[in-house]
Amino acid sequence: MLLSRPTIEELQTTIDHEADRSEEELAARVFEAALGTLDLFTIYIGDRLSYYELLASEEPLTSTELALRAGTEERYTREWLEQQAVSGFLTVAGTSDDAMTRKFTLPTQYTDVFTNRLSMSYLAPLARMLAAAGMKLPDIVDAHRSGGGVSWDAFGDDMRESQADMNRPSYMNLLAAEWFGGVPEIRRRLDSEARVADIGCGFGWSSIALATGYPSIVVDGYDLDEPSIAKARIHAAEGGVSDRVSFHAIDAGDPSVSGNYDIVTAFECIHDLPDPVSTLRTMRRIAADDGMVIVMDEKVSDTFHPDGDEIERLMYGFSNLICLPDGLAHADSVGTGTVMRPDVLRRYAQEAGFSHIEIMPIEAEMWRFYRLVV
C-alpha cells in the first residue's frame, strides 16, 4: 500500500525536534565537563594537601581527625570530604545531621589512582597539570591576540612535577623491559656496554629506567630546564644509578653537546621544541656511525579528522593549553604543538639530514616510536 508523504509542517517539526535534541545533548556535555573540571580541581587540593595518602594509610577519619593529621583547617577539610563523597571518590559512614561524627575512607581500589606513583593507573598528576594550565588561561588568551606564548618556566612547579609524574609509571614499568626490550636490535645494544644520550630528559625517569633495566649502560641526560635537571640528579642518586647516569642542564641544540652514542633518544619532547630541526641535527651528530636515533611522541592520527577519537581530543587540549603556548613563547618558533603527525616529524628529520623515518614495532596506547635513519 502507498504511504502518505509527510507535510512540510511535519518535516519542519521533525527538524526542530532534532535541533532541540542536539542542543540539549551539547548542553548536557558541557555540564558534565563542568562537573569533571570541578572534580579535577578538588583532586588537586587532595593531592597537594596529602589528604588521599592520609585517608589511604589510616583508619576511617572524621574531618577533625584528617585536618589534624594534614595540618589544615577543619571547615575546609570537611567541605572537601563531603564533596569527594558526593562525587563517589570516598565512602562515608554516618550520614546523620552531625557532620562532625562522619567518618570517611578512600576505597582500596582507588588508592592507585590517587596515591601510587608507580601505578599505571596513577592520574592525580593530571589534576596538577590542568590546574597549572588553568592558572595561565588569561595569559594564553593574551597570546592568541599577540602571537606570543607562555613559557614552560612560567607554568611553574605544578607543571614540571605533573609532567614527570604522569610519565614515570610508563617509563619505570614498560620502557626497559617491554618497549625497548621487545625490539631485538635495541635490546642487543642495551645488553652490552652501550652509551645512551637521552634528549629532553626532564626529571630523568626515562634515563633512570633504562639504566635500572640495563646495568651495563651509561646514560647522559640533557635538558634545558635547570630545575628539572636538579630533580633528575636527586632521583638518580635515590635510585642508585648516579654512577652511570649523568644529567646536563644544556640546550640539546647547543654545538657543545658532543659524544659518540650507541642510542640517542628523545621521549615526548620534539613537539615542544621551538627549533626541533636543530635538536634533531644534534641527535644525528652525536650518534655513532652505527648508532640508533629514536623519537617517542604522541600517537596521534596520521591526518586530521574532525571526528577524532578521545586521544586526539586529549592531545588537542594539551596543545591549546600547554605545548603550543610553550613553543610559541620563543622567538622564531615553528609552533609544532602536541599534535605532531608523522609527516611533520618526517619533514623535520629530513631537514636535519636524515634520509627517512621508520615507525618501530612498539605497541603503546599513547605513544608512537620512530627510528630516524641517516
Asked whether residue 330 is assigned to any structural domain, the reply reads: yes
Are both 235 and 322 inside the same structural domain? Answer: yes
Q: Tell me whether residue 178 is in a domain.
A: yes
Considering the domain architecture, whether residues 246 and 341 belong to the same structural domain is answered as yes
Parallel, antiparallel or unpaired: strands 103-105 and 91-93: antiparallel
- Of the candidates 47, 45, 39, the one whose C-alpha atom is nearest the C-alpha of residue 88 is 39
**CA–CA gap between residue 77 and residue 170 (Å, rounded):** 33
Task: Say if residue 260 is in the same domain as residue 331.
Answer: yes
Q: How far is CA 130 from CA 30, 87, 137, 270, in A?
A: 17, 19, 10, 21
The answer as to whether 1 is a domain residue is no
Q: Is 313 in the same domain as 164? A: yes
Q: Using the 3D structure, point to which of 85, 113, 141 is the last residue of a domain.
A: 113
Using DSSP's 3-state secondary structure scheme, residue 104 falls into strand
Tell me, yes or no, whether 98 and 146 share the same domain.
no
- The C-alpha R_g of the chain, in whole angstroms, comes to 25
Q: What is the CATH number of the domain that holds 56?
A: 1.10.10.10
Q: In what order do the strands lie in the sheet with 261-267?
A: 245-249, 218-223, 195-199, 261-267, 287-298, 367-373, 356-359
3-class secondary structure, 290: strand
Q: Are residues 279 and 347 in the same domain?
A: yes
Q: Would 20 be classed as within a structural domain?
A: no
Residue 118 lies in a domain: no
CATH value at residue 160:
3.40.50.150
Full pLDDT tens readout for the chain, 374 residues: 344 555 666 555 655 656 667 889 999 999 999 999 999 999 999 999 999 999 998 799 999 999 999 999 999 999 999 999 999 999 998 767 789 999 999 999 999 999 999 999 999 999 999 999 999 999 999 999 999 999 999 999 999 999 999 999 999 999 999 999 999 999 999 999 999 999 999 999 999 999 999 999 999 999 999 999 999 999 999 999 999 999 999 988 788 888 899 999 999 999 999 999 999 999 999 999 999 999 999 999 999 999 989 999 999 999 999 999 999 999 999 999 999 999 999 999 999 999 999 999 999 999 999 999 99
* Domain assignment of residue 106, given as a range: 27-113
| Stated pTM of the model | 0.91
Q: Kindly state whether residues 248 and 325 are assigned to the same domain.
A: yes
State the first-to-last Cα distance of the chain, in angstroms, to the nearest integer: 72
Last residue of a domain, one of 64, 80, 113: 113
> Does 346 share its domain with 272?
yes
